[in-house]
Amino acid sequence: MVYSGSPDSALTKKITIHTLRKMKEQGEKFVTVSLYDAPMANMAERCGAEVVLVGDSLGMTVLGYDSTIPVTMEQMIYHIEAVKRGNQKSLIIGDLPFMTYATPEQAMINATRVMQAGAHMIKIEGGRWLAPTISMLSERGIPVCAHIGLTPQFVNKFGGFRVQGRTPESAAILQEDALILEQAGADIVLLECVPAALGRSITASLKVPTIGIGAGRDTDAQVLVINDILGLTEHPPKFSKNFLCETADIKGALLKYVQDVKAGIFPAEEHMFH
């Protein structure tokens, strides 16, 4: 067993891509937490989170930027190394920051740095235009999480943090993007801020697992930023929940998040877009 469901639900073995695919096949939810340091990474392992994402969200949650765009490769490497030191069993995903994968060759160089820092997979944002890059990385042994929907690095193009895929036309594009990126070699597809019905449809159409954030409860996994889980965000997004207000301490909040995702309790209706 990977997850015991006990009050101290520590992972009992190392999580791999194969583990996550098996969980999807068996209809078992897995849990992802976005965090940035060794102590929280260790706590995530002890609470049973199968995946840890070191996201460029650290620009806003840790470094005080107003978006993810100023985040550098050096900052990502620093935090990935810290998370790796604190967590030995979760699968670690590391973001490639803004404009560090504009070409397949550039992506290869920077993905190599992220993997050597301790990540087991890299994450990049964008649609079908990323297919050649994903194919190149996958062929050379670098697993990829493809991030579609609301992609924060495109915030200036979108004109703000807006839900994507609300019209039939835009939903069809995202559905096609997901299939194209899977065919290119993506190992996970992350869906952010899309209607719940679209999250369900894309998840059902893919063989690889999906991770949702504001994408309904029918994705194969959920991800939240640790700051949102602990109620540290001044203006929390609709899809987030403060789990600390229901528990006695930080470990209890993280454990409650893990258990609620596993049980299908989170996200609830109020956390979804339609």
Active-site annotation, residues = 192
What tokens appear for 231 in the block? 């109620």
Per DSSP, helices labelled H in the chain are 17-25, 38-47, 58-61, 73-86, 104-117, 131-139, 155-158, 168-184, 196-205, 226-229, 250-263
b vs e for 155-167, b when ≥16 Cβ sit within 10 Å of the residue's Cβ? beeeeeeebbbee
| CB-facing half-sphere around the CA of 108: CA atoms within 13 A | 12
CA angle 227, 233, 239 (to 5 degrees): 80
Q: What's the rounded Cα separation, in Å, for the pair 108 and 214?
A: 30
